[in-house]
Amino acid sequence: MALLDDKVVIVTGGGHGIGKAYCRGIAREGGVAIAADIDEQAAKDAAKAIQNSGGKALGIRVDVANLASCQTMAEKSLQAFGKIDGLVNNAAIFMTVPAERAAGRKSPKKLGIALWRSTSRDCGFAAALLCRPCNDEKREAS
Ligand SMILES: NC(=O)c1ccc[n+]([C@@H]2O[C@H](COP(=O)([O-])OP(=O)(O)OC[C@H]3O[C@@H](n4cnc5c(N)ncnc54)[C@H](O)[C@@H]3O)[C@@H](O)[C@H]2O)c1
């Protein structure tokens, strides 16, 4: 028996970098990895790569700075797998300079300060908060 057998785990920012590695690790341990990313194609590609190597995964779009988008992420996960066991709240825009400086320069991601702030502040709150009531509704219905 593997560590995460049949556990359904959402990884925000699962399309690239560390989040993508989390997804691979979850699948390797027998779990279902839901790669949720604002870059939908990257999320789907990450999930496809896991499926191609025999693991269970789903790639979906989410913007963690948007509550409605997080709700949709949770609902899609429930529709696909019937439960959500865990959340790795990884999505963020990692940088080593202050937000004010980053927003003022021409970075490849063309960051706005509002996006930077809301992403870093809201992502865990939104995703965790919205996954839980969805699970509760599911339990009540069954
Ligand atoms: N790389 C490092 O050295 C390092 C160090 C400390 C902490 N971290 C943290 O680890 C996490 C991942 O870092 P990484 O280096 O893999 O970064 P990355 O840029 O490679 O990956 C971040 C992912 O988050 C996604 N993302 C960005 N905004 C989003 C949004 N609003 N909604 C959904 N997805 C969104 C991106 O599309 C990307 O796939 C971040 O939280 C970062 O702050 C990274």
Cβ < 6 A, ligand 1 pocket:
12-13, 15-19, 37-39, 42, 62-65, 90-94, 119
d(CA 120, CA 113): 11
| pLDDT at 74 (0 to 100) | 85
Q: Which of 24, 94, 125 to mutate to test the pocket of ligand 1 (most atoms within 8 A of CB)?
A: 94
Closest ligand 1 atom to 65 CA: 31
**Residue 110: enclosing H or E segment and its boundaries?**
none
| Backbone angles phi and psi of 133, in degrees to 5 | -60, -35
Q: Where are the domains of the chain?
A: 8-141
62 CA → ligand 1 middle, Å: 13
Fold of 8-141: Rossmann fold (3.40.50)
Place of tokens 């609902």: 75
The pTM of the full predicted model, rounded to 2 decimals, is 0.82
d(CA 39, CA 26): 20
pLDDT digits (tens, 9 = 90+) for 64-110: 878 788 888 888 998 999 888 888 888 876 665 555 555 554 444 54
Contact (CB, 8 A) for 46 and 91: no
